Structures are given as C-alpha cells and as structure tokens.
C-alpha cells in the first residue's frame, strides 16, 4: 500500500488555517503566530477507481527563524493544500469514520491546549446552548459562554431567539474542554473575544456599560466599546456599588440598566475584570472639616468652636468608639479638637470620616458627623493613613 506524506512548509499567519468548502465543516482561525509547521499524512489505498483516506494529523511546534520569514504566497499555498487534503478526506467505511473522529478529537485537544481560536459553525441549539461543528464532531457552547455582544445588540430578544438567529453562522470560539472518552467538547465564544479585546483595556479606564444580570454578591456589567458593541463583561461587587451600605444589589441595579463603571482590577490569567461604580465619586471618608463647614464671615460664631474655649460633648456613640480606638496598637490618644454645624443634614446616623491629609507629627484627623453637627477628632498615632482606616474598620465591627 503506497503511503504519501505531504509537508506543507512553514506557516505563520493569523487568518484561516482550514477553509472547508464542505457545508458541514467550519473554518479555523488562529489568533497567534505560533503555528510553524502543519504536517498532513494520508494513507491512500486504491479501491477500484477510488481512493479512501484514513487519517491526518496536526502538529504544532514553536516558531523557528525560517517560519517567521515565510512569505504570504507560501502561507496561501499551504492553506490551499491543507484544504484540499482535508476536503478529500471522506470516510469510506466505519473504520475510516472512527479514525477520522479520533483524529478530530486529537485536533480538538490541540486547540484546547494551545488556546488557538477556531471558527465554529452553529449547527443548532437546545435549551442550554449552541451546537458547534468541529469537523466530524459536534460540540456544545453553553449560553453563559456567548459573547455579550449578541444580547447588547438586540436587548429585546430572548436567548432562544438569539440562538435561532445564529444557526448557520460561523463564530469565533475557543475549546475549553475536550475529553473524547466522555464525549465532552465544550466551546466558549466569550474566551475567544477576550483574547482580542482584553488588550484594549487597562486599570483606571472608564466605560459606559449595560447591566447583564444581577446576583446576590454583585452585578455583571457588559462594557460598551467605541463601536457601540459590548465585548467584555466585568463584575461590580456589592461593596463597589455605592459608598453607602448596600443590603441588596437589586435595590440599586436592574438588568438592562445603563451605568458608568471604572475598571479597578484585571486578572488576565483568569479572564476577569473587576469594576466599580462608587469609585467614580470621591471617597466621602477623605474629607476635612474645613471642606464640609463654610467658614466665611456670615457663618456666625456658632458655626465653629474649639476645645480651648468650650467643652465639647461627644456625639452619641463616640465614647464607645474612642475606648475601642485606644485598644488598637499604634493609637495613643483620641480627643475632640473642634466642632461645627452644617447648613444641611447629611445623615441622622453617626458617621466617621477620615481626613485626606496624611498624619503630621503623629497626629491624624477624623470627622464625626450626625445630623447637622460635625466634630473634628485628633488621633495621636504611629499608623499611616491606610493603617488608621483598617483600625477604624475593626473598631466599627466591634461597636454595636
């Protein structure tokens, strides 16, 4: 039996690796230039006047100096040759079908481990996701792994209507699980889109977004890019929704809401984005007494008083906080230095704010507010601003 071996040169390109003309097969896309050699080996046996192919293999290796210098013509020729070899690989019996499927599972595992992007044809859908063609194998793409661009583009459509509109189209996907024994071939469009668009964001960026769905622990927001499409999704944790205490995220955010968010963390290894709504505003803990109290001539003598001229009675609840603060390491003394009255009521409840000025000569300033009354508190401490904030948080957890 004659054996023909075709080595399709050095290939380094970002477009289609395979481009089947067969309607049941989909094109494969590479988003990296790491593929240097494609070796297609076929055993051809003459049966009457026809030939049947038995197997092909895909080999991925690190790029060499010669591969990076391959010309565009060489890449196109390799692509055409690979297409011809694969399109002619039509199984003729059960053994050939099994060998073809086994080879396709090996190819799926290669895509899984390499992280390459594949252009998968949507064959259909069910109640949980899309059916994606991968050569002779059909895999599954769960609805949560769809790119947010579909729902943002047509927010009035249900997920089933979106799935129906995608049947017959080719979408970029990544293989995130490929286990031939259990027949599990799972795809993610979200991961494929992350590979393309995550490089375009950084911590500190501010985006307009759309609330996709809300959980007890926070809200997932789809980020809208300059072209108007949503490609990436991030989490606004419940602690990042507002500076005020939030008991239930659903009291503030609802699916479909348009919001503005700030990127505060990117975990590129896990493809996660952490967002914040509250950090678009100044932290109310970072204040000074001079900022919250007007001190012009019209304020009157009652607007500000000092401990040197009068005895200041602590606001209700401050005594207990003072006692707990003195139990913290690094805090030596706590006393009220002055007080004032605001023109409006910020909150009837007692609030403690940190000064935005760093400690000076081991002295740091806190503000206590309740109703219209504001009191300035001086701490004698060896802690820095962050240490004081953590100490204050511990104290407030202990005080009822």
Digit-coded pLDDT (tens) for 247-290 = 899 999 999 899 999 999 999 988 999 999 998 987 665 555 55
CATH architecture for residues 200-280: Beta Barrel (2.40)
Q: How confident is residue 12, by pLDDT bands cut at 50, 70 and 90?
A: very low
The share of the chain scoring above pLDDT 90, in percent, equals: 38
Contact 290, 357 (CB under 8 A): no
d(CA 390, CA 384): 10
pLDDT of residue 281: 84
Range of weakest confidence among 79-83, 307-311, 317-321: 79-83
What does pLDDT average to over the chain? 74
Q: How confident is residue 4, by pLDDT bands cut at 50, 70 and 90?
A: very low
Phi and psi (nearest 5°) for 106? Answer: -65, -40
Q: How confident is residue 375, by pLDDT bands cut at 50, 70 and 90?
A: confident
pTM: 0.53
Asked if CATH classification 2.60.40.740 holds for the domain at 97-194, the reply, yes or no, is: no
Q: How confident is residue 101, by pLDDT bands cut at 50, 70 and 90?
A: confident
pLDDT of residue 309: 40
Nearest to 367 by CA among 304, 255, 287, 298: 287
pLDDT of residue 146: 93
> Residue 113 has which token pair?
């481990």
107-162 residue pLDDT tens: 999 999 999 999 999 999 999 999 999 999 999 999 999 999 998 888 888 999 99
Domain residue ranges of the chain, discontinuous segments joined by +: 97-194, 200-280, 318-398
44, pLDDT greater than 50: no
pLDDT of residue 282: 74
**What SS3 string covers the chain?**
CCEEEEEEEECCCCCECCCCCCCCCCCCECCCCCCCEEEEEEEEEEECCEEEECCCCCCCCCCCHHHHCCCHHHHHHHHHHHHHHHHCCCCCCHHHHHHHHHHHHHHHHHHHHHCCEEEEEEEEECCCEEEEEECCEEEEEEHHHCCCHHHHHCCCCCHHHHHHHHCCCEEEEEEEEEECCCCEEEEEHHHHHHHHHHHHCCCCCEEEEEEEEEECCEEEEEEECCCCCEEEEEEEEHHHCCCCCCCCHHHCCCCCCEEEEEEEEEECCCCEEEEECHHHCCCCCECCHHHHCCCCHHHCCCCEEECCCCCCCCCCCHHHHHHHHCCCCCEEEEEEEEEEECCCCCEEEEEEEECCCCCECCEEEEEEEEECEEEEEEEEECCCHHHHHHHHHHHHHHCC
> Residue 322 has which token pair?
């003072």
Contact 21, 84 (CB under 8 A): no
- Of residues 76 and 327, the one with the higher pLDDT is 327
> Residue 249 has which token pair?
């995220």
85, pLDDT greater than 60: no
pLDDT of residue 160: 93
45-79 residue pLDDT tens: 333 333 333 333 333 333 443 433 443 444 344 43
pLDDT of residue 353: 77
Q: How confident is residue 386, by pLDDT bands cut at 50, 70 and 90?
A: confident
Nearest to 180 by CA among 122, 131, 139: 139
332-358 residue pLDDT tens: 999 988 888 776 665 678 888 777 667
- Of residues 37 and 321, the one with the higher pLDDT is 321
Q: How confident is residue 376, by pLDDT bands cut at 50, 70 and 90?
A: confident
190-221 residue pLDDT tens: 999 998 899 999 999 999 999 998 999 999 99
Place of tokens 């579909």: 150
């Amino acid at each position: 039996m004659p054996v023909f071996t075709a080595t399709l040169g050095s290939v380094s390109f970002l477009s289609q690796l395979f481009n089947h003309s067969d309607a049941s097969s989909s094109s494969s896309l590479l988003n990296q230039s790491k593929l240097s050699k494609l070796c297609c080996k076929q055993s051809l046996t003459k049966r009457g006047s026809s030939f049947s192919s038995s197997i092909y293999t895909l080999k991925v290796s690190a790029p060499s100096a010669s591969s990076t210098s391959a010309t565009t013509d060489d890449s196109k020729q390799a692509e055409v040759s690979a297409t011809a070899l694969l399109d002619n690989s039509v199984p003729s019996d059960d053994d050939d079908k099994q060998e073809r499927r086994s080879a396709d599972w090996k190819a799926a595992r290669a895509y899984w481990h390499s992280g390459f992007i594949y252009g998968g044809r949507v064959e259909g859908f069910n109640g949980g996701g899309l059916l994606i063609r991968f050569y002779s194998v059909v895999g599954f793409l769960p609805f949560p792994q769809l790119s947010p661009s579909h729902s943002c583009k047509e927010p009035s459509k249900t997920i089933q209507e979106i799935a129906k509109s995608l049947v017959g189209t080719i979408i970029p996907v990544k293989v995130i699980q490929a286990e031939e024994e259990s027949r599990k071939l799972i795809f993610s469009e979200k991961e494929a889109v992350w590979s393309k668009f995550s490089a375009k964001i950084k911590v500190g960026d501010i985006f307009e977004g759309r609330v996709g769905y809300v959980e007890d622990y926070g809200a997932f927001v789809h980020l809208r890019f300059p072209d108007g499409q949503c490609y990436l999704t991030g989490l606004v944790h419940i602690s990042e929704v507002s500076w005020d205490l939030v008991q239930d995220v659903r009291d503030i955010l609802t699916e479909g809401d348009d919001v503005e968010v700030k990127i505060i963390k990117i975990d590129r290894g896990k493809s996660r984005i952490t967002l914040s709504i509250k950090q678009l505003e100044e932290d109310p803990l970072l204040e000074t007494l001079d900022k919250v109290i007007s001190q012009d001539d019209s304020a009157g003598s009652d607007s500000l008083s000092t401990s040197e001229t009068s005895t200041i009675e602590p606001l209700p609840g401050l005594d207990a906080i003072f006692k707990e603060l003195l139990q913290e390491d690094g805090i030596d003394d706590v006393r009220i230095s002055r007080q004032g009255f605001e023109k409006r009521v910020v909150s009837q409840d007692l609030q403690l704010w940190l000064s935005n000025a760093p400690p000076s000569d081991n002295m740091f300033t806190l503000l206590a507010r309740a109703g219209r009354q504001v009191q300035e508190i001086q701490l004698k401490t060896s802690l820095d601003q962050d240490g004081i904030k953590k100490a204050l948080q511990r104290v407030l957890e202990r005080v009822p």
